[in-house]
Amino acid sequence: MTFENDTIPRRFALWAALPFLVTLGACQQTPVPPPGEITARFQCEDGSGFDAVFNKENETATIVRPEADDIVLPIARSGSGYLYSDGTYSLRGKGKAATFSTTGGVDLSCHSE
């Protein structure tokens, strides 16, 4: 098969290869979190949001916000639900509802997506 000065077979060859190229792109793996780690995305009443990365092995929750440094909170005793606190910041909640407490005692009501 020759493609010299013959655009129809060349176009056909490109269109025939397209499904294989698309399938190859779909085979890329999405990142898998390390074992014992769960990430939850929270949206808060003031329009802000953050990710909380819960690490079962280290018993921590890392708060990841785009506009600030990460905050690592150790697990704390909670009567019901969960509580992570370092004395300055805290994340407590149950189910999809959570409260993120920041410096100065500001409490943000948030929910996981």
6 in any annotated domain: no
Q: What confidence tens digit (pLDDT) does each residue in 38-62 have?
A: 999 999 999 999 999 999 999 999 9
State the Cα–Cα distance between residues 21 and 74, nearest whole angstrom: 46
Task: Give the residues of the chain that fall short of pLDDT 70.
Answer: 1-34
Place of tokens 């909170």: 73
Q: What is the pLDDT of residue 103?
A: 81
Q: What is the pLDDT of residue 67?
A: 86
Sign of CA dihedral 9, 12, 14, 19: negative
Q: What are phi and psi of 29, to 5 degrees?
A: -85, 140
Q: How many domains, in total, are found in the chain? A: 1
Range of the domain at 41: 37-112
Three-state SS string across 28-85, please?
CCCCCCCCCEEEEEEEECCCCEEEEEEECCCCEEEEECCCCCCEEEEECCCCCCEEEE
3 in any annotated domain: no
80 in any annotated domain: yes
Q: What is the pLDDT of residue 33?
A: 58
State the Cα–Cα distance between residues 87 and 92, nearest whole angstrom: 13
24 in any annotated domain: no
16 in any annotated domain: no
CATH (domain of 99)? 2.40.128
